[in-house]
Structure 1
Amino acid sequence: MFPQLPIRLALLALISLPLTACDTQTMTDLRRNIGLDQPEPEPEEPAKPRAPAVSPLVQPIETGAPGKPIPTAEPLTYRATSFVARGNEPFWNVEIAGNTATYRTPENQSGRKISVNRLVFDRGVEYVGVLNDRPFVVNMTATECQDTMADQKYPLTARLTVSGKTQQGCASVGQPAEAAAETTTDAPAAAG
Structure 2
Amino acid sequence: MFPQLPIRLALLALISLPLTACDTQSMADLRRNIGLDQSEPEAEDPAKPRPPAVSPLVEPIETGAAPAKPIPTAEPLTYRATNFVARGNEPFWNVEVGGTSATYRTPENQSGRQIEVRRIVFDRGVEYIGVLNGRPFVLNMTATECQDTMADQKYPLTARLTVSGQTQQGCASVAQPATAAAAETPAETPAAG
TM-score (norm 2): 0.64
Residue 49 (structure 1) shift: 5.1
Give ranges in structure 1 of 5+ residues lacking alignment.
Answer: 1-38, 53-62, 186-192
Matched, 1:44 2:51: yes
Once residues 87 and 146 of structure 1 are traced to their aligned partners in structure 2, the CA distance between those partners, rounded to angstroms, is 11
CA contact (8 A) 2:86 2:170 kept: yes
CA contact (8 A) 2:128 2:139 kept: yes
Once residues 159 and 116 of structure 1 are traced to their aligned partners in structure 2, the CA distance between those partners, rounded to angstroms, is 15
Once residues 134 and 114 of structure 2 are traced to their aligned partners in structure 1, the CA distance between those partners, rounded to angstroms, is 14
Counting aligned pairs with the same residue, the percent is 75
CA contact (8 A) 1:154 1:171 kept: yes
Residue 46 (structure 1) shift: 4.6
Corresponding position of 1:30: none
Corresponding position of 1:106: 107
How many aligned positions are there? Answer: 137
Secondary structure of the equivalent of 1:181?
helix
Give 1 or 2: higher helix fraction: 1
Residue 114 (structure 1) shift: 0.1
Corresponding position of 1:86: 87
Secondary structure of the equivalent of 2:179?
helix
Residue 67 (structure 1) shift: 2.9
Matched, 1:158 2:159: yes
Once residues 146 and 121 of structure 1 are traced to their aligned partners in structure 2, the CA distance between those partners, rounded to angstroms, is 22
Q: Which runs of 4+ in 1 moved over 4 A?
A: 49-52, 63-66
Once residues 161 and 180 of structure 1 are traced to their aligned partners in structure 2, the CA distance between those partners, rounded to angstroms, is 33
Summarize deviations over 1:124-178 as a string: whole Å, max 9, x none: 0000000000000000000000000000000000000000000000000011122
Secondary structure of the equivalent of 1:177?
coil
Matched, 1:71 2:72: yes
